[in-house]
């Protein structure tokens, strides 16, 4: 059962102020309507993971760890490896997150991150087969939300993509009898793309990118687009209960691609040979 | 998604004989159940979706009620025998996500503020699945809500569009859903010109996305006409009985 | 833990009327004490299932879908296939059914349907072995209660039997190395019998067949017999909390067989070569 | 159920040396536990059933209480080491069904109306299982209730009968239960001449069913005598202590 | 989540009396500070188990059943059998035990019994391998708490050890192809040690052995040592929320060993060739 | 535990270059999170432990509150990527036990009586595990509680000691934990000279146990100094900001 949740109380005064500012094209934290908060990330900080990235987007902080294990391909895709995405809304990230197994919000988040990676064809699943139909790599992507300051989706998609980029896999040799031997070689995961997601908050028919926590609690609804590096759309999700006009959907799709290009240059900028902290600002 | 066989032939005809903009046959049986307050059997192609509504009712446990409006409880489930391979009866992550997605689509159209401190239960049971079940579920739920006499801002009509063999096609069937390049479920309220559910996965250019959204709205309009006809027919029958 | 449930409230006036009528041998819906409500069924309506039946008994409606998959025989019965019965009391069937995993009522229902099929030897389990001890058919019978108007047991047993009768299985060829090849051939399940269950409601030492919803909410207790086609008894269950005298148990057993024969001729009547709607009335 | 070996020989003697109407040895140890309000260790053949009762107590959560009577909570469980193959500690569907079946058997005999808004907890733990555990469980629960001083309309006595090698036999043992043709657990209240639990699975003719029911009642009468003796003995001991 | 539980109410008067007595070196049940309640046990009472022991310690009663099955060694210990300990705080043992899956108290109890057996090297896990890396014995130790009168840990460790001592395993022959054949031979489990645990209750900086139920409800905290037969310590656990001074820890460790030797002679006294009741008293 | 390789060489140097009494490098980052009332990232060797505190807050459900003090809720979890082999996200029995063990260690030092009818939530998330996580968790939780301004009787400092190659060593690393002969986690409150958590598994003589306890307390004192320094630094910074 999915059950209506009580919305967190945002003071009426704040809400009114927010709406007045918005009608003048400004936001309560002084950002412009199309301005992201500061994005920064570190990769490789969890040595025991095969790949990891800690990403902060304003006050939101997400840690993604990737583990690669051996497993069996699915029956209907014997020539592909397996990708598993899981998300945990840790209760220490927000008093509104309950301890316990992932609830519908965590599941929807994990499934959206999964779609963004899978449909963009980011991870080359065919390269993850070792013995077709028998043995393959299983790539576990665990999204750990550490601090919840709004816009979890963008932070999670970007952190997951960055963690996958950071992932190394151990190579195996297969002899003629199909027996596996672990080698000393490690390689990067073979990647085809780098998906970028852009989320809009919508209040009273006004939309803006990257809602922060207070905006998120006030918004009528949300719309997220994930773009490939060439500007294709690989995933879309409307979230929460409000309504959107078709015309605005198209406007957001176009503005989203503009923002995605900015974020992309930030995310891919310092990649080569550098696993250290990388701070940038996609805003303005 | 990778194309494995031809889904649309040279004449623009799909595997089930439809043109790219055609919907599958739709059948609406209102009041299918005796004990629910409102119910419908909604069939679209081989989809058989049973939706039913109870309420507004008292809320248990008490502390989950809201002082200013009704809460909605929505459950979307697929029967173990509804799919090619038997589905385990335990709820999957997909079913949990779709229950939420359907609830989100309905929250803004049900006039919940008329029924404070109550709950409206909406059950969507997929008895047979044939692609597009989430939007068929929203369409069915809207009919069941209307059948239960729950006031709404408008009737929600859902339809999926997608991309197959590089073309945007309406109301994907099972093969197109599995082997096509993209799937895009949309729920739309024609009287408000608003979208209440929008998802997409697969690969589309921005131009294709625009086209798909427009085709989704056209398809939803067709579904809407059938919804309105079904509700009118039932209403007229009731009126006649009254005379 | 099994916990006492509050009985649904039936108005005192209705209850009094029901008892007065009963003492005159009549029931609130005008039926005689030994009269069933109308039974109708359709088979084969779920094309993706290997067998299916939708059966209504008065206001009760049950859909049974059968799926046949390959699996492994149990260790102690290497020469038999596997039969699995599951029941779901869908919350849309009644506001008294809670969403969630099957509760004790659903489990007891599934287990009674299982016993009726298994102990009547309806499904020839030995015919479901493909490679003894290794591969067999697993027959999943899923009982879906769509509308709850009383007497779920009889409706479920009959619908399950009808769905099994409607079930087709795909044949496999086994080569000398034990390798399986799917063939184009489909066959009917091999059946040995067709169990018929008859349920009695008991109030104030009066009994009658096929209680409807209001009767069910008023009854002290219930007794169900399942009969084979030759009049043997293959399953019995007393349900709910009341008491029954031994003499009445025997009376009901004998009356039950009379009713079972009537229901049987209805259920088996239109079988041959006809998977379409089949409406009959076992009453009077 | 299919007969695999001879269960009754030419002289009418069963695998464990009993005649067809004989019960297995029964041992009743009342007040076996210190902290429960009533308890018993009930042994019948190799069955070792521990039953205990707490209450009447306050109900948590409050909203499950009933204004006019006590509710019963019954749990039947088999220990992991009670059976030939280790049983997983997680409750099986069988245990869930039998908890309900035992509760149903006890609801009508406990005078719950004397204790409104309370709960009586009844725990039946099968420490070793040897066929007929559900009726041994009812027998034991009735003794534990009596030991706890809970007023009842009568003492319930349970016994299973069944069919082995084509004959109706009383108090099936484990081999007869597994290899015999039918199993029929019955719980009976002699002072009321009423049946509170009746199940059967297997194959019987109607004539055999009549005979089986009659033998079940006779067997229950024997169990009842042992129950009464055990309760009397304990009562007399208590009285003596008082003097 | 581990959540603070409300302590059972012990009357203030009783509590005061208990403390006054303790300051004079006496306890409410007249025992001395270093005196155990009566320990008695029976072994082999569950014939369907491969080993069993019923042990009572004052009003506490614990039944342990051992089942031995075939299974697979863990990947990282291919040359060892598997030991699994589970504990159930049966709701009939105390009104404070809730029905349901094992809670944190039951899990902590099971894990402590496990550590006592495993770290003492009591069960020779290497002797439980049949085919290295492939087949081994899995020894399931199920601790069933029947009556809760305080000091579950000592009763459970002793009962588990006694049940393991009582355990017989069926021998298998392995042919050159690695095929197993069950033989008629049964043997005792091969044991290397017999762990003895000693638990202290601590109130107001006073400590004493073997707290009974009322003492347990009043204690600030508890400390348990498990000793091997040669006086090594193989497991220690502080339980519940109070504090202990380091000096007292060492005093208890030393006193504990004195008590362990007494209990040990009682537990091992009547062992040889005797599976019958064996009553003794480690106290005084 | 069986020794497989040399853990301490002839010069008394451990696999990671430490002497037997040396702790691993410790790094304390107070106020790591924005939304928790108190938080810390605590690193010890490769351990990365994130601890956070919320409260005192209202209790839901109401009936679990206590009239005379705050209740604590503690959750200890290991991230799926924190260990060599991926850990399933479902809570293990070990995590359930350690949540309780950590709660027990904190109950007596938090001044819960100051906040009746409230709850204090303490979350310990192991982002990377490298032996000794339960005591690192207590150390981190104490820092997060202090960071949240929750009054305590003293600051708790935890450290594990153990036995490797027959010697008592401080602050076991992962290899020593897995291949050493004993592991003994201890939490200690220096200002009270009291132990709040004590466990041991492995084999030690009584003499070794005494030595281990003494070394554990010395190690905890070192941890305590670092805790105090970190808290002072943050306090001074705050004061400076105020000026």
Phi-psi region of A132 (alpha: psi -120 to 50; beta: other; left: phi over 0): beta
Mean pLDDT of F223-236: 94
Check CB contact under 8 Å for F96 and E2: yes
Q: What phi and psi, each to the nearest 5 degrees, are found at residue B90?
A: -65, 140
Question: What's the pTM?
Answer: 0.95
Q: Give residue-wise pLDDT tens across range E136-148.
A: 999 999 999 999 9
Residue F198 has pLDDT above 80, yes or no: yes
pLDDT computed for residue C176 by the predictor? 85
pLDDT computed for residue C178 by the predictor? 79
Give the 3-state DSSP-derived string for B190-240, with helices as H, strands as E and coil as C: CCCCEEEEEEEEEEECHHHHHHHHHHHHHHHHHHHHHHHHHHHHHHHHHHH
Residue B169's H or E segment, with its range, is: strand B167-170
State the chains in contact with A (3 or more Cβ–Cβ pairs under 8 Å).
B, F
State the chains in contact with B (3 or more Cβ–Cβ pairs under 8 Å).
A, C
Q: What chain D residue is nearest to C228 in terms of C-alpha separation?
A: D203
Q: What chain F residue is nearest to E86 in terms of C-alpha separation?
A: F93
Residue E49 has pLDDT above 90, yes or no: yes
pLDDT computed for residue D52 by the predictor? 98
Check CB contact under 8 Å for C148 and B35: yes
Check CB contact under 8 Å for E231 and F205: yes
* A140 touching chain B per CB within 8 A: no
Residue C93 has pLDDT above 90, yes or no: yes
Check CB contact under 8 Å for E253 and F195: no
* Measured distance CA(B107)–CA(A242) in Å, rounded: 8
Check CB contact under 8 Å for B39 and C92: yes
Measured between beta carbons, the chain C residues lying within 8 angstroms of D204 are 232-233
Q: Give residue-wise pLDDT tens across range E250-262.
A: 999 999 999 999 9
Residue E8 has pLDDT above 90, yes or no: no
List for chain B the helix, strand, coil content (%; round to 5).
35, 35, 35
Distances (CA, A) of E15 to E214, E222, F113: 9, 17, 20
Of A125-134, B56-65, E186-195, F139-148, minimum mean pLDDT range: B56-65
* C284 touching chain B per CB within 8 A: no
Residue F74 has pLDDT above 50, yes or no: yes
Cα-to-chain-centroid distance, residue A149? 15
Residue D69 has pLDDT above 70, yes or no: yes
Of D59-63, D66-70, E266-270, minimum mean pLDDT range: E266-270
Measured between beta carbons, the chain C residues lying within 8 angstroms of D53 are none
Q: Give residue-wise pLDDT tens across range B5-55.
A: 899 999 999 999 999 999 999 999 999 999 999 999 999 999 999 999 999
Residue A283 has pLDDT above 60, yes or no: no
pLDDT computed for residue F23 by the predictor? 98
Check CB contact under 8 Å for A233 and B206: yes
Residue B199 has pLDDT above 80, yes or no: yes
Check CB contact under 8 Å for F203 and E233: yes
Burial of C124 (0-12, 13-18, 19+ CB in 10 A): middle
Best CA proximity match to D119, nearest among E267, A189, C1: C1
pLDDT computed for residue A270 by the predictor? 55
* F222 touching chain E per CB within 8 A: no
User: Residue A284: which pLDDT band, with cuts at 50, 70 and 90?
Assistant: very low
**3 state DSSP class of D235:** helix
Q: Give residue-wise pLDDT tens across range C40-49.
A: 999 999 999 9
Residues of B numbered 117-136 whose beta carbons fall under 8 angstroms of chain C's beta carbons: which are they? 121, 123, 125, 127-129
- The closest CB to that of F99, out of E1, E105, E118, belongs to E1
Average pLDDT along chain F: 95
Check CB contact under 8 Å for E95 and D83: no
Task: Please give the structure tokens belonging to residue A186.
Answer: 């490690």
User: Residue E276: which pLDDT band, with cuts at 50, 70 and 90?
Assistant: very low
Measured between beta carbons, the chain C residues lying within 8 angstroms of D71 are 3-4
CA distance C138 to chain B (A): 11
* D35 touching chain C per CB within 8 A: no
In degrees, rounded to 5, the angle at the alpha carbon of residue D53 between the alpha carbons of residues D49 and D56 is 165
Q: Give residue-wise pLDDT tens across range B113-147.
A: 999 999 999 999 999 999 999 999 999 999 999 99
CA distance A54 to chain B (A): 26
Mean pLDDT of E216-241: 96
CA distance E203 to chain F (A): 13
Q: Give residue-wise pLDDT tens across range F173-196.
A: 999 999 999 999 999 999 999 999
- The closest CB to that of A232, out of B96, B195, B205, belongs to B205
Mean pLDDT of C103-129: 97
Distances (CA, A) of E138 to B194, B232, D78, E115: 62, 68, 20, 16
State the chains in contact with C (3 or more Cβ–Cβ pairs under 8 Å).
B, D
Q: What chain C residue is nearest to B83 in terms of C-alpha separation?
A: C48
Mean pLDDT of F7-36: 96
Q: What phi and psi, each to the nearest 5 degrees, are found at residue A239?
A: -120, 155
Check CB contact under 8 Å for D93 and C240: no
Burial of E211 (0-12, 13-18, 19+ CB in 10 A): buried
Q: Give residue-wise pLDDT tens across range C6-49.
A: 887 777 888 889 999 998 999 999 999 999 999 999 999 999 99
Domain boundaries, chain A: 27-269
Measured between beta carbons, the chain E residues lying within 8 angstroms of F198 are 223, 236-238, 244, 249
Supply the ipTM of this predicted assembly.
0.94
Map out the domains of chain B with their CATH numbers: 26-233 (3.30.230.70)
pLDDT computed for residue F83 by the predictor? 96
User: Residue A15: which pLDDT band, with cuts at 50, 70 and 90?
Assistant: confident
DSSP B171: S
* C111 touching chain D per CB within 8 A: yes
* B80 touching chain C per CB within 8 A: yes
CA distance A18 to chain F (A): 21
Check CB contact under 8 Å for A243 and B195: yes
* C273 touching chain D per CB within 8 A: no
* Measured distance CA(A234)–CA(C216) in Å, rounded: 54
Check CB contact under 8 Å for F80 and A86: yes
Question: What is the number of alpha carbons within 13 Å of residue C128 lying toward its C-beta?
Answer: 30
pLDDT computed for residue B3 by the predictor? 44
pLDDT computed for residue D19 by the predictor? 96
Residue D174's H or E segment, with its range, is: helix D174-179
Check CB contact under 8 Å for C4 and D103: yes
Check CB contact under 8 Å for C88 and B89: yes
* Measured distance CA(D54)–CA(D120) in Å, rounded: 6
CA distance F43 to chain A (A): 12
Measured between beta carbons, the chain B residues lying within 8 angstroms of C101 are 89-90
pLDDT computed for residue D4 by the predictor? 66
**3 state DSSP class of A164:** helix
* Measured distance CA(B145)–CA(B153) in Å, rounded: 12
Measured between beta carbons, the chain B residues lying within 8 angstroms of A110 are 93
User: Residue A2: which pLDDT band, with cuts at 50, 70 and 90?
Assistant: very high
CA distance C106 to chain D (A): 9
User: Residue B204: which pLDDT band, with cuts at 50, 70 and 90?
Assistant: very high
pLDDT computed for residue D46 by the predictor? 97
pLDDT computed for residue C237 by the predictor? 98
How many other C-beta atoms lie within 10 A of the C-beta of residue C262? 18
Mean pLDDT of E189-214: 96
User: Residue A276: which pLDDT band, with cuts at 50, 70 and 90?
Assistant: very low
Residue A48 has pLDDT above 50, yes or no: yes
Q: Give residue-wise pLDDT tens across range C153-194.
A: 999 999 999 999 999 999 999 988 878 999 999 999 999 999
In this structure, whether the domain defined by E27-269 belongs to CATH 3.30.230.70 is answered with yes
Best CA proximity match to E243, nearest among E259, E219, E267: E219
Distances (CA, A) of B161 to A159, B209, C184, E26, E121: 31, 10, 34, 83, 65
């Amino acid at each position: 059962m999915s059950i209506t949740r009580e919305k967190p109380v945002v003071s009426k005064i704040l809400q009114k102020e927010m709406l007045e500012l918005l009608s003048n094209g400004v936001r309560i934290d002084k950002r412009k309507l199309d301005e992201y908060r500061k994005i920064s990330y570190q990769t490789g900080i969890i040595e025991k993971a095969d790949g990891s990235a800690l990403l902060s987007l304003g006050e939101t902080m997400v840690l993604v760890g990737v583990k690669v294990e051996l497993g069996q391909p699915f029956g209907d895709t014997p020539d592909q490896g397996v990708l598993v995405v899981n998300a945990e809304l840790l209760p220490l990230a927000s008093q509104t997150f309950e301890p316990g197994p992932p609830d519908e919000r965590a599941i929807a988040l994990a499934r959206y991150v999964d779609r963004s990676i899978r449909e963009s064809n980011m991870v080359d699943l065919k390269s993850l087969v070792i013995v077709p139909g028998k043995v393959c790599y299983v790539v576990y992507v665990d999204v750990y939300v550490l601090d919840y300051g709004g816009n979890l989706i963008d932070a999670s998609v970007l952190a997951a993509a960055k963690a996958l980029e950071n992932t190394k896999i151990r190579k195996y040799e297969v002899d003629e009898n199909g027996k596996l031997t672990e080698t000393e070689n490690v390689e990067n995961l073979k990647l085809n793309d780098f998906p970028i997601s852009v989320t809009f908050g919508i209040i009273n028919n006004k939309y803006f990118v990257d809602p922060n926590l207070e905006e998120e609690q006030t918004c009528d609804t949300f719309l997220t687009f994930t773009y490939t590096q060439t500007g294709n759309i690989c995933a879309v999700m409307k979230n929460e209960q409000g309504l959107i006009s078709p015309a605005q959907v198209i406007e957001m799709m176009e503005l989203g691609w503009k923002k995605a290009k900015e974020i992309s240059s930030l995310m891919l900028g310092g990649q080569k040979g550098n696993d250290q902290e990388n701070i940038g600002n996609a805003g303005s | 998604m990778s194309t494995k066989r031809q889904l649309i032939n040279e004449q623009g005809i799909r595997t089930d004989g439809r043109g790219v903009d055609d919907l599958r046959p739709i059948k609406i049986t209102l009041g299918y159940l005796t004990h629910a307050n409102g119910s419908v059997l909604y069939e679209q192609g081989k989809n058989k979706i049973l939706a039913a509504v109870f309420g507004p009712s008292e809320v248990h446990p008490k502390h989950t009620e809201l002082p200013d409006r009704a809460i909605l409880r929505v459950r979307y489930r697929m029967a173990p025998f509804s799919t090619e391979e038997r589905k385990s009866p335990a709820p999957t992550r997909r079913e949990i996500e779709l229950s939420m997605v359907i609830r989100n689509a309905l929250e803004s159209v049900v006039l919940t503020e008329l029924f404070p401190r109550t709950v409206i239960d909406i059950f969507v049971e997929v008895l047979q699945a044939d692609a597009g079940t989430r939007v068929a579920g929203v369409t069915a739920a809207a009919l069941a809500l209307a059948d239960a006499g729950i006031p709404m801002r408008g009737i929600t009509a859902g339809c999926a569009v997608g991309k197959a063999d590089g073309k945007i096609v309406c109301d994907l069937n099972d093969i197109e859903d599995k082997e096509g390049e993209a799937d895009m479920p949309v729920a739309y309220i024609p009287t408000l010109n608003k979208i209440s559910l929008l998802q997409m996965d697969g690969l589309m250019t921005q131009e294709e996305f625009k086209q798909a959204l427009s085709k989704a709205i056209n398809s939803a309009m067709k579904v809407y006409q059938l919804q309105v006809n079904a509700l009118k027919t039932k209403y007229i029958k009731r009126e006649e009985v009254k005379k």
